[in-house]
Structure 1
Amino acid sequence: MQLSRSRKKRTLALAVAAFAASLGVGIAAEPAGAATCSDVDIVFARGSGELAGLGITGTPFVNSLKTNLAGKSVSSYAVNYAADLAQTSAGPGATDMTRHVKSVAASCPNTKFVLGGYSQGASVTDISIGIPTLLGSGETIPTNLAPRVAAVVVFGNPLALYGQHIPTASALYGSKAKEYCNLGDPVCAAGVNTLAHLTYGYDGSTTSGAAFAAAKVRALG
């Protein structure tokens, strides 16, 4: 059973990589540099097999969120991790996400954060906010920085296969988290529809997620 699930995830990761390549999505987000502090920093982890950058889901999510936050300065950071097809890099990805948040938070005391991830990138996010997963372990964001994380938005989160969801699994982040899992998605719904896992970027999910995150950002002032 476990072997079958592992093979299914690897096959799906290959499909994500091929789909991303066909779209030409691989442009890295601009780093949130220490020289200029933004009002909001979006930190997003791409899915398995995608080229370095925000990926097929993170790119439209970030673009939509920037539109929703017109009037605020918004930076974005693509988590620097392998996003390997073997699904073994979520832990190091979480460490990179965590260290980025800590670094920017120290340099920019007024910056708020929106965290997100797609597929294995959602596992990166889970680990970074302190939710244990079977896909590895890594550094977690210090609890004192949790109030500065305005929203957490993930797509196709493997955590759901084990009966967990960020809104109920995290006392710190649950109330400001949103998950998207399409019917039939093999990664989060134990389905067999590969296409269901590839469409978050243009089926309205990223637009909805961005609206949710923008509302949470505005609630912080």
Structure 2
Amino acid sequence: MSRPPVARRGTLMSRVTRSTIVATFALAAFFTGGLVPAASANAAGDSCANVEVVFARGTLEAPGVGATGQAFVDALNPRLQGKSVDVYGVDYPASLDFGRATDGIADASNRIQSIAANCPATKIVLGGYSQGAAVAGYTTASSVPAGFALPASISGPMPPAVASHVAAVVLFGTPDEWFLGLADHNAPPISIGPLYGAKTLQLCAAGDPVCFPGGTDRGAHSSYKVNGMAGQAADFVAHQLGVTAPAAPVLQAAAVVGPDQAAG
């Protein structure tokens, strides 16, 4: 029996499975829509924004925040009237080579730490869609999985003190353990760090083959920009920022589960 779409908080997935070569090539049908160091946020002479959205786009999307990221930003801006909002698209290939997602983890980490150092009053919103959701999720990790060797582009988890600068984390269509195994059988589990769990919202559309167990609806994976979940994520972020905003209409219902129920 199919489970309802879920908006998960905290830890997702316990162990990845191995894929076949044929299944790996099938990734191109499911996904829709060298490391460059992040520039210092709000360099000398620039003003610091009240909020900065750091968003990682999905596989094969053009550089920037992608369609889902833009829908989220467009939904968030009117909820934060009176506040200045900067937007940063995580710099990484977003290709079918999932191993290059580490470029995005390094870039997102550098950007967040730069904002925290140079604009300590700026509230950071970390987000991602599809492969970008994996990038954002890994960015919150508090430890390196046992037996996993970090690539040269990553020195380790972000310092714990940085977490206080991140007000919210929103993830759309995060790859589940089965799909993560297809993308890269060496990929470690995506585990939201404990300092970020309570301020993380994960959204999965019903039938989305990337995040919904047994899902076969490819269209569901590209639906986040129109199914109301961008608005749900914006409401969540506004709440985390202490802003009272009118609730967005829910076009596709989602259930919320606690951190101890999030896996699977």
User: How does the TM-score come out when normalised to structure 2?
Assistant: 0.69
2:159 matched residue in structure 1: 142
2:36 matched residue in structure 1: none
Distance (whole Å) between structure 1 residues aligned to residue 41 and residue 136 of structure 2: 18
1:9 matched residue in structure 2: 27
1:170 matched residue in structure 2: 193
* Structure 2: gaps of 5 or more residues: 1-17, 34-39, 181-188, 244-264
1:32 is displaced (CA, Å) by 5.1
User: Once the two structures are superposed, what CA deviation does each residue of 1:26-85 show, in whole Å capped at 9, x if it has no partner?
Assistant: xxxxx9532120111100000000000110100010111111111111111000110012
Q: Normalized per residue, which structure has more helix? A: 1
1:193 is displaced (CA, Å) by 0.8
Distance (whole Å) between structure 1 residues aligned to residue 174 and residue 128 of structure 2: 8
> Does the Cα contact within 8 Å between 1:94 and 1:140 map onto a contact in 2?
no
Distance (whole Å) between structure 2 residues aligned to residue 153 and residue 79 of structure 1: 14
1:106 matched residue in structure 2: 117
Distance (whole Å) between structure 2 residues aligned to residue 118 and residue 126 of structure 1: 10
Distance (whole Å) between structure 2 residues aligned to residue 211 and residue 160 of structure 1: 28
1:170 is displaced (CA, Å) by 3.0
User: Once the two structures are superposed, what CA deviation does each residue of 1:116-154 show, in whole Å capped at 9, x if it has no partner?
Assistant: 0000000110111017689x8645332101011110000
Distance (whole Å) between structure 2 residues aligned to residue 149 and residue 110 of structure 1: 11
Which one has the largest radius of gyration? 2
> Does the Cα contact within 8 Å between 1:9 and 1:187 map onto a contact in 2?
no
Count of residue pairs the alignment pairs up: 200
Q: Which moved more, 1:79-88 or 1:146-155?
A: 79-88
* Structure 1: gaps of 5 or more residues: 18-30
1:205 matched residue in structure 2: 229
User: How does the TM-score come out when normalised to structure 1?
Assistant: 0.82
- 2:83 aligns with one of 72, 77, 83: 72
Distance (whole Å) between structure 1 residues aligned to residue 207 and residue 54 of structure 2: 27
Shift in CA distance, 199/84, structure 1 to aligned 2, threshold 3 Å: same
1:217 is displaced (CA, Å) by 1.2
- 2:169 aligns with one of 126, 146, 152: 152
1:160 is displaced (CA, Å) by 5.4
Which structure is higher in RCO with an 8 Å CA cutoff and minimum separation 6?
2
1:6 is displaced (CA, Å) by 2.4
Q: Is 1:93 aligned to 2:104, yes or no?
A: yes
- 2:42 aligns with one of 33, 36, 41: 33
Distance (whole Å) between structure 2 residues aligned to residue 120 and residue 87 of structure 1: 8
**Secondary structure in structure 2 of the residue aligned to 1:89:** helix
> Does the Cα contact within 8 Å between 1:40 and 1:113 map onto a contact in 2?
yes
> Does the Cα contact within 8 Å between 2:52 and 2:123 map onto a contact in 1?
yes
